Amino acid sequence: MDDDTFWTLIENCRQRTPDPDERVAWLCERLAGGPEPEIVGFQTCLDRVLLPSGTWDLWAAADRIMGWCSDDSFFYFRLWLVGLGRDSFERLARDPDALAELPDVRRLVGRDQEDWDEEEWLNWEELDYVAGQAFVQVTGRTEEEFHAAVEALGGEDPESGDPAGEQWDASDDEQAKRRLPRLSGLFPGPGTPVTDEDHPMDATTNRFPG
């Protein structure tokens, strides 16, 4: 499976339903209807397309939005970005501050995390399991054998190694204002008020224009 085919599957999935569980079910059914190499190829493509999103700046952006983001949470956040589609994913990987444009992010502004609904959390952990589920369903073999098949293709682990770029503290307001000016306006440090000017809530789509 090449990257274009992978992203076409993600886009078709997006168009069918906004519900992440329904998307996973659709993807699993679609992959299970194809040959085994396509199932394994989906995982290797997912691992590959995730690589550019492994940066300290993007991790800091996730930290800023969620208050604190563990390594696992950051990985699930990156999977959520994949679910936005190719254009949005690639732009956000290059410019994490553009997350400030997304309605899914803006609706969290000024709200305590305890008040976030489960579906509002910016993660899509299940995407990382869908190919393995399809593999087990089709072949009757184990998930361990699936991971061995993926490894045999020589792909890179998107969770291994340090993120790219310079590590910095997202809780440092001065750095955040310089590196993530829009996000730091929406998600200020403790004791800093958020004004209507900071978040006019005028965005209507999860897609970037153009």
Question: How high does pLDDT run on average in the chain?
Answer: 90
- Crossing angle, helix 71-82 and helix 36-50, to 10 degrees? 110
Integer Cα distance of 210 and 64 in angstroms: 27
pLDDT of residue 194: 42
Question: 154 or 116: which carries more pLDDT confidence?
Answer: 116
Is the pLDDT at 153 greater than 60? The verdict is yes
Model confidence over 89-142: pLDDT tens digits?
A: 999 999 999 999 999 999 999 999 999 999 999 999 999 999 999 999 999 999
CA 168 to chain CA mean position, Å? 20
> What is this structure's pTM?
0.89
Contact between residue 28 and residue 134 where contact means Cβ atoms under 8 Å apart: yes
**Contact by Cβ (8 Å): 169, 163:** no
Residue 17 amino acid letter: T
* pLDDT exceeds cutoff 90 at 163: yes
Furthest-apart CA atoms within the chain: distance in Å: 56
In degrees and rounded to multiples of 5, residue 55 shows phi and psi of -130, 155
d(CA 81, CA 158): 14
Question: Binning pLDDT at 50, 70 and 90, where does residue 190 land?
Answer: low
As a whole number of angstroms, the distance between CA 68 and CA 129 comes to 24
- What local confidence, expressed as pLDDT, does residue 154 receive? 86
**Token pair listed for 3:** 């990257």
Q: How far apart are CA 65 and CA 112, in angstroms?
A: 11
**At residue 204, does pLDDT exceed 80?**
no
